[in-house]
Amino acid sequence: MALRDIKNKITSVKKTAKVTKAMESVSAVKMRKAQEVALKAREYAFFAFWALRRLAHATSKDISEYFADTKGNKVGLVIVSSDKGLAGALNTNLFKAFEEFIEEYGLDTNSVGLITVGKKAYEYTQRRGYENLHHIAQLGEADELGEFEEISKQVTDLFFNGDYNSFYVLHTKFVTTTEQKPLARKVLPITTEGLKGFIEEIIPKKGRYADKAGEYDFDKDMPTDYKFEPNAQTVLENIVPYLVTTSLYYALLESKASEHSARMVAMKNATDKAGEVAKDLKRQFNKQRQAAITSEISEITSGMETTK
């Protein structure tokens, strides 16, 4: 490679490093905000679904349709992805989990209906011929609860119409800044075991709120009866739809925190790699320049000797 080409390549790599460094800084700011919102939401979600589980345990399936099974032959899935790339393996892992979900439940393009949140999920599922019931893209930074009220209503309407026997949400759970995990959980019908698993997933293994793990025994002293005013059906029909919306919205919060964390780490790795490439190119440039200088000196010396 010519010296000029190496120099141009060094300049190009340094410019790329500036861009990735800027993106890293922006993602770091967004990451801190998204993490804070997601962690605060965990405590609310924990107590909300802990209370719902106790209600589900004490309530007959006949009282509310949210707890009853349907005879539908299709499965609904809400997939929460990002709108943009450059986030490492975040979306790749999410779509791998999606394919595993399809295989686990023996589904195909005719037996599953999808609601996609995020451009990447929409594009991925459309390329594979899946039915898209609803699509939302370009959501704000975890402040679009109204959008999820619309999704929640569509989910419950489809479930109650009898075409779908269950609905799940697939999203990326925020574990730590360097670790994100795809997670699929059932939204409808509501079951005590499903809620238990959801509550246990909310509690982090370490750090903030980790002490909640030993605070409640999920299987001990579960109530067998509640007194409702005016009646159980009215109370549940007002509370449960909001909690279904909260469940979907919580998936967005976790996904946003995961996305910005993954992108910050990816951009940091890209910046570090660009620095290494620039250093290697600089070393190559110096070696070739030194070789050229040595060659020129040899030619001058040879020329001087021939003139004697």
Q: What is the C-alpha separation between 108 and 130, in angstroms, rounded?
A: 8
Whether the CB-CB separation of 154 and 78 falls below 8 Å is answered with no
More confident residue, 176 or 93: 93
Spatial distance between the Cα atoms of 126 and 254, rounded to a whole number of angstroms? 24
183 within 8 A of 173, measured Cβ to Cβ: yes
Helix H or strand E encompassing 77 = strand 74-80
Is residue 231 predicted with pLDDT exceeding 80?
A: no
Domain 3-23+266-307, second-level architecture: Orthogonal Bundle (1.10)
Residue with the larger pLDDT of the pair 98 and 303: 98
- C-alpha distances in Å from residue 284, one per residue of 17, 97, 272, 276, 292: 19, 43, 19, 12, 12
Ranges for all domains in the chain classified under CATH 3.40.1380.10? 32-263
The residues pairing with 171 across neighbouring beta strands, listed in sequence order, are 183
Q: What is the percent of the chain where pLDDT is above 90?
A: 14
Tell me the Ramachandran region of residue 118: left when phi exceeds 0, alpha when psi lies from -120 to 50, beta otherwise. left
**What number of other Cβ atoms are within 10 A of residue 210's Cβ?**
11
Higher pLDDT, 143 or 144: 144
Whether cis (ω within 30° of 0) applies to the bond prior to 182 is no
Start-end of CATH 1.10.287 domains in the chain:
3-23+266-307
The domain over range 32-263 is classified in CATH as 3.40.718.10:
no
Is 218's pLDDT higher than 70? no
Buried b (16+ CB within 10 A) or exposed e, 17-51: beebbebbeebbebbeebbebbbebbeebbebbbe
Question: pLDDT tens for residues 257-267?
Answer: 888 888 888 88
